[in-house]
DNA sequence: ATAGCCAATGTG
DNA sequence: ACATTGGCTATG
């Protein structure tokens, strides 16, 4: 914000006299809108956010409002201004035109100098309203980022054609979904949650969704209930497919016109048109992917997020806000309800419950048992005795589950994402390197890690090829397609479908088929669910030192197993993993909340997020050292490191915050206890701004909530 | 970032 | 005496 510098405030008259003098005096050309023009009679000062995300320029600048722009230069509109000009003997020189937003109209300015005029009002659309501005400010503060950067995430680029069209209002008042609570009746507190929404209260719930296809309808009912109570509603989903399912459920409840779908699939212009309908208040219900977390819904009554453990919820642009955290901020700031739902539970969700901020919304054990499939595990001890199973190189139990499932319907095989767990093969004969105990694929989990089985985790020192006796390995990438081919040969009578990153299959019919999919791309079965699922993804994750490996493996398993028929209808999911491990046990008991609670306790004991908050400072050693030396950290902050970062391999595309190839960078972590996250971000931002403004040596990167802590 | 100033350095 | 370069600073 603008600095409080204590200088005497000039009366508006004197200020304007200065501007006029400047305007009539100099020989230089001035913006055409300005030459000789008078100023706005009322509120002649516009406070402008310039659209440059520089941490050290993270404040507002005052401009004079020419009379001709008086009516249009309202708070929230996009403008163009001269920025970076210098002032010499009463005239201004240079400075380029850049975009910005009018944030406020004022009678006078704190700035003691001569104000430059607004150059142009780009659009009369008030896209950055005070509520959205306050949210962006809070997000920037939370993440030690620049306000302009966050605004760029929140306000889509202008599409003139979309602005020319008026936004159609809904066909009438939103219909009351009142046909009872639907699937919410299965949850002891489900109806109470909906009733609270109807009353206009702001209940906050962490919802453990029952397995099965019901959740999009339940989410839609919560949104529709809020809308019927006269408030706005917003749901953020991890991908376009999930958003489309909720969109369809909402259309079924309300008909068309009462909500919009904000996803990237629509294309920039259609997306902006829908966003404008929300911004203008014509539509008050939004379903979308992460950018929708900022959707300026009027009178927000409910903010909902599905599957917050999905990394797609974190924006990939600085300062990398996470939709869960943004919605928690919004619910607090705007007095809205929060619904954080999923089959899995993050430690963050558990923390919201444990702190008392949110209440659990879960079904009873009996209901869970009646809706979940039977979970079976195959650990390293289960040999493949069945000759047919041995030829398919699958443990016999897995083979059996596939065969029995295929007799009754589609069977899902969840395989690791391509390139995620590189498989190894004999360098001489190309035969896949197999585990001696369970025939699972061997994998090198980390660069210097031991060779171990990708399924049961058994280490395989001194490996030799079973086919040719060779002792050297080479990496081969085995994706879904290859797994599909292998399984197809094992079950020649059954059609094989694949679904993965580049070719996602939305649904599969209720007929016997092998459906090979990577995590997150699982097709939704059209019938009562998959007859069986084989979960081959996860071991590579569990072997990692990553903080979230267990949580993430369980999340992927639960999301796949939730697509399987209930145990009572013959549904079975087989997971190839050691049954003693915590995530495996939690899957067997279908207890995601319990897993998250234990996970949270562990992290609390170790001083890990989300109980502590962490920020990473990375860069060349001298830059990291200088920033750490300059920063005035809160007294309870603790600096860990710095330690050397792994060197970027040449050729691999580099992400921001990673060292350029060949450079040796370091990373320090700064950790604070709960409650000191805000001061930590503020301190880092201040130090960063001071160093950048002075060009004080090489810059360091600051990132709040860094990924890959472990 | 970016433009403009200034001083220091280089060139005829 | 003048041009070129690099550091420094403020941006309304």
A88-135: pLDDT as tens digits: 555 566 678 899 999 999 999 999 888 999 999 999 999 999 999 999
C1' of C9 to CA of A695 (Å): 10
Averaged pLDDT for residues A377-382: 67
Nucleotide nearest A94, from its CA to each C1'? B3
3-state secondary structure A673-694: CCCCHHHHHHHHHHHHHHHHHC
Beta bridge pairs of residue A49: A101
C1' of B12 to CA of A30 (Å): 40
Nucleotide nearest A118, from its CA to each C1'? C12
pLDDT for the residue A480: 62
A210-249 residues near strand B (Cβ < 7 Å) = none
**Residues in CB range of A424: below 8 A, 6 or more apart:** A432, A433, A441, A442, A443, A444, A451, A473, A474, A475, A476
C1' of B1 to CA of A53 (Å): 9
C1' of C10 to CA of A472 (Å): 62
C1' of C7 to CA of A510 (Å): 71
Angle between helices A323-334 and A130-142 (to 10 degrees): 130
Query: pLDDT digits over A247-301, tens only?
Result: 999 999 999 999 999 999 889 999 999 999 999 999 999 999 999 999 999 999 9
Rounded to whole angstroms, the Cα distance separating A619 from A668 reads 9
C1' of C9 to CA of A694 (Å): 8
Averaged pLDDT for residues A169-180: 80
Any idea which residue has 């409910």 for tokens?
A302
Q: Are A297 and A286 in contact (CB under 8 A)?
A: yes
C1' of B4 to CA of A66 (Å): 27
C1' of B6 to CA of A692 (Å): 21
CA closest to C1' of C9 belongs to A694
| B chain positions with any atom within 7 Å of a protein CB | 1-5
Nucleotide nearest A692, from its CA to each C1'? B1
Nucleotide nearest A693, from its CA to each C1'? C9
CB distance under 7 Å to strand C: residues: A 2-3, 56-57, 60-64, 81-87, 92, 95, 109-111, 113, 115-116, 693-695
Query: pLDDT digits over A390-417, tens only?
Result: 444 567 788 889 999 999 999 999 987 7
Query: pLDDT digits over A617-647, tens only?
Result: 999 998 999 999 999 999 999 999 898 887 7
C1' of B2 to CA of A147 (Å): 20
Rounded to whole angstroms, the Cα distance separating A187 from A359 reads 13
Averaged pLDDT for residues A553-577: 95
Torsion angle defined by CA atoms of residues A635, A142, A548 and A598, in that order, rounded to the nearest 10 degrees: 70
Nearest to A413, CA basis, from A490, A344, A346 = A490
Q: Is the CB atom of residue A97 positioned under 7 angstroms from any atom of strand B?
A: no
C1' of C2 to CA of A87 (Å): 27
Rounded to whole angstroms, the Cα distance separating A554 from A557 reads 5
Averaged pLDDT for residues A29-49: 73
User: Quick check: helix, strand or coil at residue A63?
Assistant: strand
C1' of C10 to CA of A74 (Å): 28
Q: Is the CB atom of residue A709 positioned under 7 angstroms from any atom of strand B?
A: no
Rounded to whole angstroms, the Cα distance separating A186 from A199 reads 21
Query: pLDDT digits over A491-524, tens only?
Result: 888 999 989 878 899 999 999 999 999 999 999 9
Q: Is the CB atom of residue A88 positioned under 7 angstroms from any atom of strand B?
A: yes
A643-662 residues near strand B (Cβ < 7 Å) = none
Q: Is the CB atom of residue A56 positioned under 7 angstroms from any atom of strand B?
A: yes
A678-707 residues near strand B (Cβ < 7 Å) = 692-693
Q: Are A276 and A163 in contact (CB under 8 A)?
A: yes
CA closest to C1' of B2 belongs to A84
| C chain positions with any atom within 7 Å of a protein CB | 8-12
Averaged pLDDT for residues A206-220: 97
Rounded to whole angstroms, the Cα distance separating A24 from A34 reads 10
Query: What is the model's pTM?
Result: 0.89
Q: Is the CB atom of residue A84 positioned under 7 angstroms from any atom of strand B?
A: yes
Nucleotide nearest A64, from its CA to each C1'? C12
C1' of B12 to CA of A349 (Å): 74
pLDDT for the residue A610: 94
Please check the confidence at residue A367 and state whether its pLDDT lies above 90.
yes
Rounded to whole angstroms, the Cα distance separating A316 from A453 reads 33
Nucleotide nearest A699, from its CA to each C1'? B1
Residue % of chain A over a pLDDT of 90:
64
Which of A56-65, A338-347, A481-490 is predicted most confidently? A338-347
C1' of B12 to CA of A83 (Å): 39
Query: pLDDT digits over A692-701, tens only?
Result: 888 888 889 9
C1' of C11 to CA of A82 (Å): 10
Q: Is the CB atom of residue A528 positioned under 7 angstroms from any atom of strand B?
A: no
Share the mean pLDDT of chain A.
86
C1' of C12 to CA of A321 (Å): 30
CA distances from A382 to A307, A385, A433, A456, A667 (A): 33, 9, 18, 10, 43
Q: Compute how many other C-beta atoms are within 10 angstroms of the C-beta atom of residue A699.
A: 16
CA closest to C1' of C7 belongs to A695
C1' of B12 to CA of A587 (Å): 83
């Amino acid at each position: 914000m603008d600095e409080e510098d204590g200088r005497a405030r000039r009366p508006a008259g004197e200020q304007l006299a200065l501007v006029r003098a400047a305007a009539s005096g100099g020989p230089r050309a001035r913006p055409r809108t300005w030459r000789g023009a008078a100023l706005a009679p009322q509120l002649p000062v516009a406070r402008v956010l310039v659209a440059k995300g520089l941490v050290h320029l993270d404040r507002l600048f005052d401009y004079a409002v020419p009379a001709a722009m008086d009516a249009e230069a309202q708070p929230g509109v996009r403008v163009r201004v001269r920025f970076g000009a210098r002032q010499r003997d009463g005239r201004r020189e240079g400075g380029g035109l850049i975009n910005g937003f009018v944030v406020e109209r004022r009678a006078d300015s704190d700035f003691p100098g001569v104000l430059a005029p607004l150059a142009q009002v780009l659009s009369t659309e008030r896209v950055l309203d005070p509520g959205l501005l306050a949210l962006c400010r809070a997000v920037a503060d939370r993440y030690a980022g620049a306000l302009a950067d966050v605004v760029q995430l929140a306000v889509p680029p202008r599409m003139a054609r979309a602005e020319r069209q008026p936004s159609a209002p809904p066909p009438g008042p939103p219909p009351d979904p009142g046909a009872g609570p639907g699937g919410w009746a299965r949850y002891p507190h489900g109806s109470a949650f909906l009733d609270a929404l109807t009353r206009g209260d702001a209940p906050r719930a962490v919802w453990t969704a029952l397995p099965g296809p019901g959740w999009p309808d339940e989410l839609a009912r919560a949104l529709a209930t809020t809308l019927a109570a006269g408030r706005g509603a917003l749901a953020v989903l991890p991908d376009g497919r999930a958003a489309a399912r909720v969109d369809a459920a909402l259309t079924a409840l309300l008909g068309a016109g009462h909500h919009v779908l904000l996803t990237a699939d629509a294309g920039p212009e259609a997306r902006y048109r829908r966003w404008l309908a929300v911004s203008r208040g014509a539509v008050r219900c939004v379903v979308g992917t992460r950018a929708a977390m900022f959707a300026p819904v009027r009178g927000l009554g409910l903010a909902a997020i599905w599957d917050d453990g999905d990394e797609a919820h974190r924006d990939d642009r600085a300062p990398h806000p996470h939709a869960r955290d943004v919605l928690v901020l919004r619910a607090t700031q705007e007095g809205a309800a929060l619904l954080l739902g999923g089959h899995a539970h993050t430690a963050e969700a558990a923390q919201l419950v444990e702190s008392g901020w949110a209440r659990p919304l879960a079904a009873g054990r009996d209901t869970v048992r009646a809706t979940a499939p039977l979970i079976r595990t195959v650990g390293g001890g289960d040999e493949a005795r069945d000759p047919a199973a041995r030829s398919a190189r699958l443990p016999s139990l897995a083979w059996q589950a596939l065969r029995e499932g295929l007799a009754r319907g589609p069977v899902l095989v969840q395989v690791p994402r391509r390139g995620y767990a590189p498989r190894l093969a004999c360098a001489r004969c190309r035969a896949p390197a197999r585990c001696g105990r369970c025939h699972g694929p061997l994998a090198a989990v980390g660069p210097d890690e031991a060779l171990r089985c990708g399924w049961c985790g058994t280490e395989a020192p001194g490996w030799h090829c079973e086919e040719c006796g060779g002792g050297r390995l080479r990496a081969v990438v085995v994706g879904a397609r290859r797994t599909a081919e292998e399984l197809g040969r094992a079950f020649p009578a059954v059609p094989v479908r694949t679904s993965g990153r580049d070719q996602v299959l939305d649904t599969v019919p209720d007929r016997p088929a092998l459906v090979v999919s990577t995590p997150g791309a699982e097709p939704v079965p059209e019938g009562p669910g998959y007859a069986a699922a084989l979960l081959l993804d996860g071991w590579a994750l569990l072997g990692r030192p990553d903080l979230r490996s267990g949580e993430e493996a369980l999340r992927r398993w639960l999301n796949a197993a939730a697509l399987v028929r209930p145990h009572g209808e013959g549904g079975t999911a087989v997971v190839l993993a050691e049954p003693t491990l915590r995530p495996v046990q939690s899957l067997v008991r279908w207890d995601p909340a319990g897993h998250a609670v234990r996970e949270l306790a562990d992290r609390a004991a170790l001083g890990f997020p989300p109980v502590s908050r962490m920020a990473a400072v990375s860069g060349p050693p001298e830059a990291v050292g200088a920033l750490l030396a300059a920063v005035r950290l809160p007294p309870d902050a603790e600096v860990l490191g710095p330690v050397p970062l792994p060197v970027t391999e040449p050729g691999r595309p580099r992400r921001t915050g990673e060292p350029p190839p060949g450079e040796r960078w370091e990373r320090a972590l700064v950790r604070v206890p709960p409650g000191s996250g805000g001061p930590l971000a503020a301190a880092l931002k201040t130090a960063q701004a001071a160093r950048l403004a002075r060009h004080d040596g090489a810059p360091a990167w600051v990132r709040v909530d860094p990924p890959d802590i472990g």
